């Protein structure tokens, strides 16, 4: 397991799978700001709220010259259903491959609940500058008010 990458580090350029079955990678956003928000699982209460909050602000992020991309380990078909069910405007991508972007960032890690240990995604958001370097990291994100805070940071960058 790698240490989480921090501010000033270049974002690893690892491809993710889109709900349509294509790929997207951080370098596709070169020259503009990018918010990558990693969340544990589609259609769970906190993750649904987080995705809806970012989607509600999608036009504001676009006006701030900032692309959005939500990422989890869920398969692309599940993302497609999740997007449709909640009319999400923020694009999603799947990071299901072993050694993927969440592994490289150090946020796919061992967790425990009720005495059971398992691998899981640490809810983390990265604001990446137009230069491809990490400008800000929010780790162990609390969902309430988070999208607004990230938007303010994106506008200030």
Residue 1 lies inside a defined structural domain of this protein: no
- Select from 99, 88, 12, 98 the least CA-distant residue to 48: 88
Size of the chain in residues: 157
Query: Which class for 101: exposed (0-12), middle (13-18), buried (19 or more C-beta within 10 A)?
Result: buried
Residue 4 lies inside a defined structural domain of this protein: no
Residue 29 lies inside a defined structural domain of this protein: yes
Residue 68 lies inside a defined structural domain of this protein: yes
Residue 11 lies inside a defined structural domain of this protein: no
Quote the domain boundaries for residue 32: 16-156
Contact 106, 1 (CB under 8 A): yes
Residue 140 lies inside a defined structural domain of this protein: yes
CATH number, domain of 93, equals 3.40.30.10
**pLDDT (0 to 100) of residue 1:** 45
Query: Which class for 41: exposed (0-12), middle (13-18), buried (19 or more C-beta within 10 A)?
Result: middle
Query: Which class for 123: exposed (0-12), middle (13-18), buried (19 or more C-beta within 10 A)?
Result: buried
Q: What is the per-residue pLDDT across 70-109, written as a single tens digit (0 to 9) for each?
A: 999 999 999 999 999 999 999 999 999 888 999 999 999 9
Q: How many structural domains compose the chain?
A: 1
Residue 3 lies inside a defined structural domain of this protein: no
Question: How far apart, in whole angstroms, are the C-alpha atoms of residue 150 and residue 145?
Answer: 9
Q: What is the per-residue pLDDT across 28-79, written as a single tens digit (0 to 9) for each?
A: 999 999 999 999 999 999 999 999 999 999 999 999 999 999 999 999 999 9
CA-based angle 69:153:141, to the nearest 5? 60
Catalytic site residues?
47
Q: What is the per-residue pLDDT across 7-31, written as a single tens digit (0 to 9) for each?
A: 999 999 999 999 999 999 999 999 9
Q: What is the per-residue pLDDT across 109-140, written as a single tens digit (0 to 9) for each?
A: 998 889 999 899 999 999 999 999 999 999 99
Contact 132, 116 (CB under 8 A): no
**pLDDT (0 to 100) of residue 98:** 85
Residue 117 lies inside a defined structural domain of this protein: yes
């Amino acid at each position: 397991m790698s240490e989480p990458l921090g501010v000033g580090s270049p974002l690893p350029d690892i491809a993710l799978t889109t709900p349509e079955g294509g790929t997207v990678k951080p370098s596709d956003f070169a020259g503009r700001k990018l918010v990558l928000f990693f969340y544990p699982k589609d259609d769970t209460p906190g993750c649904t709220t987080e995705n809806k909050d970012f989607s509600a602000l999608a036009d504001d992020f676009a006006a701030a010259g900032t692309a959005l991309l939500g990422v989890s380990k869920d398969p692309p078909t599940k993302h497609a259903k999740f997007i449709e069910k909640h009319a999400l405007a923020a694009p999603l991508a799947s990071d299901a491959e072993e050694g993927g972007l969440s592994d490289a960032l150090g946020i796919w890690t061992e967790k425990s609940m009720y005495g059971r240990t398992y691998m899981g995604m640490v809810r983390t958001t990265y604001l990446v500058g137009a230069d491809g370097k990490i400008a800000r990291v929010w780790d162990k994100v609390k969902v309430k008010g988070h999208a607004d805070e990230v938007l303010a940071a994106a506008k200030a960058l």
